[in-house]
Structure 1
Amino acid sequence: MQNKLSGVARRLRLTCQTNKLPVRLSIITALAMLPLLQLHAISSKKETNEYVDVMNNNRLTVVSVKSPNTVFNNGQSLHGFGYDLMRNYAKSLNVQLDFKIVADETTALQLVADGKANMALTNASMQTIENKKLNFFSATCGNLNSLEKHGLSSNISLVVSNATDPLAQTATGFTCKANDNGYIDQLASFYNHNTVDENSWETIEQDLKKRMPIYKASFKREAQKYNFDWQFLAAMGYQESYLKPNSVSPTGVRGLMMLTNNTAKAMGVTDRNNPQQSIQGGAKYLDQLLEQYEDIAYPDRAWYALVAYNMGPGALSTIQSKVSKQGKNPNEWINIYTYLKTHQVSNGKYKQAVQYVTRIRAYIEHIQSNEAGTLDV
């Protein structure tokens, strides 16, 4: 077995070096990636060059089933650990990502088998994938701990039809580089499924059942004006005030959407304690912030707008400048998040901003799940 794994490790190392991605491979990583290298002989289908097709069409088609560790809908766009991983893989290829959510794993795998998708991001079992005569490898280059410690399922794989296709080789190289440079850890941290304490969900659910019906129509009406999902706005309202229209903070912000006096005036709100006016002002301000960051792609733009709503655009601009001085892209959310997370011990406002965005993300997912019973994209 040791000799077999050593051979696998050598081939894995060669793959990464071919893509100029030097990666140290452990036995665990080799085991996680073993299926990609062994299942080539399983498929008797006519081999095609998926990589050439992707590059010629300038489009990478990935299919997935919604789940906490793959993809969700934040009302503005898709988001999720797996989705962001694939978004950055497509970016590394300099192609557009066509990400499709399907009803079940069988459908996702069949689309790959039929050549209608380049790959599937899946939580399906090894046996299920093998039964389809498909090939797969760990979407995290064998890094299971990062997902597990953040409450995410470590059973996440990328499925391809042909293990020797250059697309499979570049994908394994990308995920291993993402693991090596810490991107996997950072992404898992942001999508932490334990952001809200498990014991708090009962209280949250009681609050939502009691108060949401009162303000739901207002959230829907105002969100429709600006073409964003009402549940996104409602999640903000719950984070701001627990949907209590008479809320007041020690700094003087007040109302259901906790507007400052200056922001309220600028948004045309004359009575911050009036819930309809507060929701109207909050929606208008959120829309302006989303426009301010229009050069940033979704879903990152939504997270930028939330930080700016919480801290102010000026404070976010300062953080972007600091990130830029570190030699990192200030218009990529993971860099802003990492900076806030790294410095939150010394700056309480940074800690508050991290909690603000991650909790709203969790509330969006919870509200949408409860409303629809499933996720509509």
Structure 2
Amino acid sequence: MRRSQVRFSFLVIVLLLMLVAWSGFLRKPSQLETVRDRGEVTIVTRVSDDTYLRNGGTGQGMEYDLASRFSEQLGVSLEIKVAETVDEALAMLLDGQADIAAAGVGVTAEREGRYRLTDPYMRVNPQLVYRSGGEAPDSLESLAENGGSVGINPSQLGYLHQSDGVELPELNWRKHDDTTDDLLYQVWNGDIPYAIVDSNEVLLARHFYPELRVAFDVGGSKPLAWALSPETDGSLHREVQAFFAEIEKDGSLARLQERYYGHLGKFDYVGTRLFMRHVANRLPQYRGVFQEAARENGLDWRLLAAIGYQESHWNPKAVSPTGVRGVMMLTQDTAAHVGIDNRVDAGQSIRGGAIYFSQVRDRIPDRIPEPRRTWFALAAYNVGLGHLEDARIITETQDANPDSWLEVKKRLPLLSQKKYYQHTQHGKARGWEPVRYVENVRRYYELLKRITEPEVMSVGLYPDESATSGPRVRQPLGVRLGDSVESAF
């Protein structure tokens, strides 16, 4: 009897083990496991300056950088799919064409009920924009009373309708399925009088279209998040949540925001207009020299040209009160160091500036990645490596990261205060100058990239009417400029 009980118990144990094994075999893998097993995460986004652009086969944009970092953390490759609007991106998500929608998705109660949304990673404000010279309304109500019409993306209109505390009057809403860049261009070009666009996109666009103006914010702040399908098990959503918590804690998120928006600062209408005129009238004379000097020193010629513009507005006869001269405003000592004997000769000045900047950048620690390394080099080019190092030491003594431009640029202005500079090796400096210098050069550099490479907006969107199948294509969008600027390139 005892023997049969042992056999029975053994049989039960075997059956239980087989059941466990079979249950594991039959268990449906989680979404996170599926993504890792196939070695790829698919993210749908949309085309705009702050989300995703493609430049020479490489991606750029806030959402793209976030997606790239997330895929690296997962240890998988990244597949990017492109939608025209936020609503289309969300529809593609529900249709199973993507794992995540990262397209500047505004958080509303309705969307929270339909999707798995992450915690917000950024907040923006919808704004009413118009062109300078047009009538500036003080509210949507006054615009409605005067029969005004407003261009708006259906996704934005849907967001505002679903937002708490936002009451929209009866307006002539001109719904546009175009990209935000198209919509802003139409306002700038006078095709439509007003449009409602998110503040981050307005901030970027005003440096390309300086006549754009902001009348007022529409509603309160708009939190942005990533969206995942509600039909999933939540495993990938939890991974994304952990990712955002980590990059917020370690400062990576703040550095990304600084990278895309930190150089914009207060908008300078006159300065931007002047820059565009000089691009048309002055830059063509020196473009070849900038390109050659940049190529010889491993630089992007547009960065070198941006430095030259900040220094002298591309004026070879420029002279400062301190005696620096030429396009690149070289001191006598610097000119002698790089082998330049005529500082007011544009070619010599540009070549000398390229050599010197390259040498300065080579002295920035290799552990500092791009583009931060370039921002540090620009600051050193302006204020000197010694003062930059003093600011980095102050940053470290205040328990912040001395390899972070976001942190160091907060401390550079301290070099003008005695309680700080008296303890430094290189003494007092007007530390706010390199901060402003770097921001200006970055702004000119971004403008030159967009002016010289309109194909950065060339991303698959519209069906090729001549083809019956294959990828969707669109014509380059880029920045539409005046005839004088476009003819210069």
* TM-score, normalised with respect to structure 1: 0.67
The answer to whether structure 1 residue 355 and structure 2 residue 338 are counterparts is: no
> Who is 2:363 aligned against?
292
Residue 248 of structure 1 and its aligned partner are, at CA, apart by: 1.2
Counterparts of 2:51 and 2:343, CA distance in 1: 39
> Who is 2:50 aligned against?
69
Does structure 1 conserve the Cα–Cα contact (< 8 Å) formed by 2:263 and 2:438? no
Counterparts of 2:389 and 2:79, CA distance in 1: 31
> Who is 2:215 aligned against?
none
Pick from 218, 239, 245: which aligns with 1:173? 245
Does structure 2 conserve the Cα–Cα contact (< 8 Å) formed by 1:139 and 1:156? yes
State the SS of the aligned residue for 2:456.
coil
> Who is 1:310 aligned against?
382
- Relative to 1, partners in 2 of residues 1:217 and 1:352: Cα closer, same or farther, differing over 3 Å? same
> Who is 2:36 aligned against?
53
> Who is 1:259 aligned against?
330
The answer to whether structure 1 residue 329 and structure 2 residue 397 are counterparts is: no
Residue 256 of structure 1 and its aligned partner are, at CA, apart by: 0.4
Provide, for residues 215-271 of structure 1, a one-character-per-residue CA deviation record: whole Å limited to 9, x for no partner: 111111121223332111111111111010111112222110111222212212111
> Who is 1:20 aligned against?
none
Structure 2 unmatched ranges of 5 or more: 1-27, 127-197, 205-220, 419-427, 459-489
Structure 1 unmatched ranges of 5 or more: 1-44
State the SS of the aligned residue for 2:341.
coil
Provide, for residues 162-219 of structure 1, a one-character-per-residue CA deviation record: whole Å limited to 9, x for no partner: 554232221342466479x994898389525344413432122112111011011111
How many residue pairs get aligned? The number is 324
199-208 or 351-360: which moved more?
Answer: 199-208
> Who is 1:366 aligned against?
447
> Who is 2:103 aligned against?
122
Counterparts of 2:416 and 2:125, CA distance in 1: 26
> Who is 1:231 aligned against?
302
Counterparts of 1:101 and 1:290, CA distance in 2: 36
> Who is 2:319 aligned against?
248
Counterparts of 1:53 and 1:73, CA distance in 2: 26
> Who is 2:349 aligned against?
278
Does structure 1 conserve the Cα–Cα contact (< 8 Å) formed by 2:123 and 2:223? no
State the SS of the aligned residue for 1:375.
helix
Partner letter of residue 361 of structure 1? R
Pick from 126, 130, 151: which aligns with 2:203? 151
- Relative to 1, partners in 2 of residues 1:167 and 1:238: Cα closer, same or farther, differing over 3 Å? same
Provide, for residues 317-371 of structure 1, a one-character-per-residue CA deviation record: whole Å limited to 9, x for no partner: 1111111111222112211122236777888722111111111111111112222
Counterparts of 1:316 and 1:95, CA distance in 2: 36
- Relative to 1, partners in 2 of residues 1:87 and 1:244: Cα closer, same or farther, differing over 3 Å? farther
243-252 or 109-118: which moved more?
Answer: 109-118
- Larger radius of gyration, structure 1 or 2? 2
Partner letter of residue 406 of structure 2? I
Residue 159 of structure 1 and its aligned partner are, at CA, apart by: 4.0
Counterparts of 2:63 and 2:412, CA distance in 1: 22
State the SS of the aligned residue for 2:31.
coil
Residue 140 of structure 1 and its aligned partner are, at CA, apart by: 2.3
State the SS of the aligned residue for 2:343.
coil
> Who is 1:208 aligned against?
279
Residue 151 of structure 1 and its aligned partner are, at CA, apart by: 3.5
Higher helix share: 1
Partner letter of residue 226 of structure 2? L
311-320 or 259-268: which moved more?
Answer: 259-268
Counterparts of 2:415 and 2:386, CA distance in 1: 18
Does structure 2 conserve the Cα–Cα contact (< 8 Å) formed by 1:178 and 1:184? no
Residue 295 of structure 1 and its aligned partner are, at CA, apart by: 2.1
Higher strand share: 2
Counterparts of 1:78 and 1:227, CA distance in 2: 21
* TM-score, normalised with respect to structure 2: 0.53
Counterparts of 1:292 and 1:176, CA distance in 2: 30
Partner letter of residue 299 of structure 2? F
